[in-house]
Amino acid sequence: MQNEESHSLPAGKNNDVLVIGGGPAGSTIAALLAERGHRVTLVEKAHHPRFHIGESLLPANLELLEKLGVKDEVQAIGLEKWGAEFVSPWHDHIQEFEFSDAWNDSMPFAYEVRRSEFDEILIRNAARKGASVVEGCRVTAVDFLPQDGGAIIQGQHDDGRTETWQTRFVVDASGRNTFLGNRFKRKTRNPKHNSAAIYAHFSGVERKCGKKAGNITIFWFEHGWFWLIPLKDGVTSIGATVWPHYMKTRGERTVEQFFFDTIALCPQLTERLKDATLVSEVEATGNFSYSCGHSHGSNYVLLGDAYAFIDPIFSSGVLLAMKSAFAGADAINVHLTTPEKSKTAFARFDKIVKHGPKEFSWFIYRMTNPAMRNLLMQPGNAVKLKKALLSMLAGDIYGKTPIWSSLWALKGVYYITSLFNLRRTITAWRRRKVNIMVDDGDVAPKP
């Protein structure tokens, strides 16, 4: 039943679903719900194409892109990524992984993409499927109506105009802006992890040859790790994910100089950049890991980064966003068509949304631990441990691939190795405890 206030709004302003945010999560769920015949409005604060970091997709993304009908468009802009490599200053070799060696060999590659192009493909697809897409409009207020009557949404356009919608259901896909998480005061820093990032794009970066040209490289160094992501147009994304206290050592240096000084701490990366040229501004982000605690209410859901953000070392961000959107679309469709089944549908959604961050996080929390580095740099295949690890790196954690017993065995090896090197483990644990310590100064550095 519509609230009486809805009659004061033009018919086009009444929706079944209003989506806040036009990134991978928002554009995906808007397309899926519009395709099912629901009236959907997507409100995005920016205009596409717009810059976004996080260019590396996982093999498990490809099935979702095919279901959305955009796989060919993404292929046209993407550079094939057949594997990944890890480089450690504490080891004398480079460890390479190929996704084809995973348990499920039907997902042998993914793509590296410019997010400006990738995200625009998804939002235009949502419009083609029937969603009303509004760009250059920032949502400023959400007023939920009593008795699950939906919500009144207010937004402000770039030119100062205001606009109002009434909707039966709200989707928060606002990314790290965490619109509803902030409104409900539920966004909290992750007590188990804390990091910051500084990044930019370069041309002229040394690449691998042939089939390996699109592979992502992870470089460990004293203060965290670097990513190197080659893109199809010859540009390469370079970034450092570091402990927040290291970011504070910048002092009077510019962000750009601090970034180059940080790169100089990793000789292997410096060698790859010897002929490179900076082709973008250097950006920085603080407080990298957080959660909003709950994923849904009676007339709203939180998707992707609007629910939680974890360290991006395994390139999981786009997969988690899109997977939560598929799950959210299923739940919302049930809620709007057969509301008596909503409780079960949202319980299933909640389980899926929490599953991905949980499984990736166990490894992320331990990525700088010597025992974990050794496991990744020298993976054995007893009990198919390597296959299970590669399946996780490929994002194959939602299907029926039987990886879990082997992953548990891998975790057991990690704990046993840690116990046999107890002094080193305790030293690493104490150092990490200090490294993830947070205070009110943990913010992104300013230019």
CATH of the domain at 171: 3.50.50.60
Query: In this structure, what are the phi and psi dihedrals at residue 139, rounded to the nearest 5 degrees?
Result: -65, 125
Per-residue confidence in pLDDT tens, the chain, 447 aa:
334 444 455 555 789 999 999 999 999 999 999 999 999 999 999 999 999 889 999 999 999 999 999 999 999 999 999 999 999 999 999 999 999 999 888 889 999 999 999 999 999 999 999 999 999 999 999 999 988 789 999 999 999 999 999 999 999 999 999 999 999 999 888 777 778 899 999 999 999 999 999 999 999 999 999 999 999 999 999 999 998 888 889 999 999 999 999 999 999 999 999 999 999 999 998 766 888 988 999 999 999 999 999 888 888 999 999 999 999 999 999 999 999 999 999 999 999 999 999 999 888 888 888 888 888 888 766 657 888 888 988 999 998 888 899 889 888 988 998 888 888 878 777 776 766 665 544 444 444
Check whether residue 136 and residue 38 sit in a common domain: yes
Residue type, 427: T
Pairwise CA distance, residues 183 & 380, whole Å: 47
Whether residues 356 and 308 fall in one domain: yes
* 236 plus 249 within the same structural domain: yes
Q: Which of 338, 360, 382 is the last residue of a domain?
A: 360
> Could you give the CA distance from residue 114 to residue 93 in angstroms, rounded to a whole number?
30
For position 386, which CATH number holds? 3.30.9.100
224 and 99, same structural domain? yes
Residues 12 and 120 in one domain: yes
Number of structural domains found in the chain: 2
Question: DSSP class of residue 12?
Answer: G
Residues spanned by the domain of 139 = 4-55+63-72+114-188+290-360
Q: Is residue 125 within 8 Å of residue 36, measured between CB atoms?
A: no
pTM assigned to the model: 0.91
Based on the fold, state whether residues 158 and 274 are members of the same structural domain.
no
> In terms of domains, do 237 and 306 share one?
no
Do residues 151 and 135 both lie within one domain? yes
Tell me the one-letter amino acid at 273: L
Burial string for 9-21 (b: 16+ CB within 10 Å, else e) reads eeeebbbbbbbbb
Residues 212 and 306 in one domain: no
DSSP state of 149: -
d(CA 296, CA 342): 12
177 and 215 fall within a common domain: no
* Structure letter (DSSP) for residue 446: P
Domain boundary among 305, 331, 360: 360
Residue written as token pair 């959907």: 40
SS3 (DSSP) at 81: strand
Query: CA-based angle 239:242:248, to the nearest 5?
Result: 110
For residues 102 and 146, what is the distance between their CA atoms, to the nearest angstrom? 50
Question: Nearest Cα to 28, choosing from 157, 138, 123?
Answer: 123
What are the backbone angles phi and psi of residue 104, rounded to the nearest 5°?
-100, 105
Q: Let me know whether 172 and 215 are in one domain.
A: no
The H-or-E segment that residue 146 falls in is: none
Is 95 in the same domain as 19? no
Tell me how far apart the alpha carbons of residues 56 and 82 are, in angstroms, rounded to a whole number: 11
Which run of H or E residues covers position 14? strand 14-20
Q: Of 360, 379, 405, which residue sits at a domain end?
A: 360
